[in-house]
Amino acid sequence: MKFKYLLLLSSFSACAANIADQSQDEYDYIAPPVAVQTSDLSDSDHDGVINARDLCPSTPKDAETDNEGCETYYRSKTQRQLRILFENNSSNINPIFNAQIKQMVHFLKEYPETSIELRGYASKSGETRYNEALSRQRAESVERRLIEQGIPAARIRIVGFGESAPEANGEDQISNAKNRRVSATVVGYKGDVDKKWTIFTTLPPNRHSY
């Protein structure tokens, strides 16, 4: 038994000496090889698609993209409609429509690539030429509100249709009230950008959670 112990101790000592000798060895530093990149792999908008095959070079930040580097969209219920009614022979905007205008301003600011066409209308009461001018004045009133709240005039187009395109047929009081209006059409809207989900994405709070 004593012999086995001495043999094991001798083997351990020899191994330790060998390790000590190796630790004293010195090696020359060898720099890692440098890869020669012959192609341009730049990705200016950081969407994961290189510029060379990116068909949409200005992808919104964090947008979900397809193989061509273009953002994907989905249709939503975002407020992009406008319908304002006016009193008889008036182009003054009733304060009850302020919230609707504010929503449109918010939408246009969120989607700066869009523009808006304001269409003014009038009821059939009155002279045709006068109604056409009045319908345009109504559209201009809405235009001023949008400009006052930061929407560039270049993004707004106004048209006065007068009494030529009534929403309601007839000349009764209710029909006339529906026809004294300004409506809007948004141009250039593709849809809301589909965003990537990350660990930093925050979900809207649940009002019913405690």
Give residue 112's pLDDT.
85
Residues 6 or more apart whose CB falls under 8 angstroms from that of 159 comprise 117, 118, 119, 120, 136, 139
CA distances from 100 to 5, 86, 94, 103, 183 (A): 94, 14, 11, 5, 11
pLDDT range class, residue 208, cuts 50, 70, 90: very low
Q: Which contacts of 198-204 are long-range, i.e. CB under 8 A and separated by 24 or more positions?
A: 198/62
| In contact, 86 and 176? CB cutoff 8 Å | no
pTM: 0.58
State the burial class of residue 26 (Cβ atoms within 10 Å of its Cβ: 0-12, 13-18, 19+): exposed
| In contact, 135 and 121? CB cutoff 8 Å | yes
pLDDT range class, residue 161, cuts 50, 70, 90: very high
Cα 145 from chain centroid (whole Å): 23
Q: For the residues 196-207, what does the mean pLDDT come to? A: 49
Give residue 169's pLDDT.
87
- The radius of gyration of the chain from alpha carbons, rounded to an integer in Å, stands at 36
Give residue 89's pLDDT.
93
CA distances from 135 to 98, 104, 129 (A): 19, 20, 10
Among 49-58, 116-125, 156-165, 199-208, whose mean pLDDT is lowest? 199-208
Q: For the residues 65-77, what does the mean pLDDT come to? A: 61
* Most confident of the following: 45-49, 53-57, 113-117: 113-117
At residue 193, does pLDDT exceed 60? Answer: no
Domain residue ranges of the chain, discontinuous segments joined by +: 79-193
Torsion-angle region of residue 207: left (phi > 0), alpha (psi -120 to 50) or beta? alpha
Largest interatomic CA distance in the chain: 127
Mean pLDDT, the chain, rounded, equals 76
Q: Report the CATH fold assignment for 79-193.
A: 60s Ribosomal Protein L30; Chain: A; (3.30.1330)
CA dist., res. 136 & res. 119, Å (int): 8
pLDDT digits (tens, 9 = 90+) for 99-142: 999 999 988 888 888 889 999 999 988 899 999 999 999 999 99
